[in-house]
Amino acid sequence: MTYHIYKRFEILTKDAVSYLIDALDALSNGDKKIQIHVNEKYYFDEEHCFKSVLKHDLTLPQRVQFHAYLKFLISHKRKVDGIDQWMRVIHNLSENTVIDGADEVARAIKSIEKLIPYSNNILEYLKGTKNPIDFFLSRQVQEEKIKAHLITKSEDWGNEIVKIEKHPYFKGQILFIFEFSGILEYFEQHGYCDWSSTDNSEYLSRFKKYANGAGAVFQSILKSSSDIDYYLIDFKQRKCWRVNRRFSC
């Protein structure tokens, strides 16, 4: 493409060039490989993503994630406090929202732009009752709000949530476990999860129970449907399922 075509379609603008320079500065690491800032590769694998960028081989959700990653580094001058939770939330939102065209990518990026000022403390933003998030699936946004309340409540909650989020079948979408354990109902009634220490132990126990059961079932689905003897049909009745002759309730 010639310069005039870039100019005609307003691709090569002053802002675009400035953004490109800022992005390259944020990614630069001398003569070494790209610097790793995100601790959990499941949510964002920096080295793999950068190689995919060079090969023009990013999926549309990955393009959204890469933009969120770059904007974090640029906006916070490479100070990476908070980047792990930021990329976890962005991963979950983008992987569980339909993004299959340029229009959806643009809308996702516009939504992220509104979140950038809060990106280094995204959990506190999510806990706010009047802090909207545009474009992304509303149910997934609600789920991330619940997680923000729980993750900031204790390390135990954070560990359990991350463990089940990373299940290859769920890809960060675990709202059904909150529903089964009664957490969703509580959150929808109160708008927060500030229950008593006794209730906290009970809710955490329920969450672990349903997370472990669901994880076992769907792991068997990934392996082979023949591993499942009985699958839970009526979730509302909290019935049991059996995997390899072991019951989970």
By three-state DSSP, how is residue 243 classified?
strand
Q: Report residue 192 as tokens.
A: 């927060």
Question: Nearest CA to 127 among 146, 112, 104, 143?
Answer: 146
Distance CA 86, CA 146 (A): 15
Amino acid occupying residue 185: E
Encode pLDDT of 31-78 as tens digits.
Answer: 788 889 999 999 999 999 999 998 999 999 999 999 999 999 999 987
pTM here?
Answer: 0.84
Encode pLDDT of 175-230 as tens digits.
Answer: 999 999 999 999 999 999 999 999 999 999 999 999 999 998 888 777 765 554 54
Residue pointed to by tokens 């299940």:
167
Do the beta carbons of residue 70 and residue 23 sit within 8 Å? yes
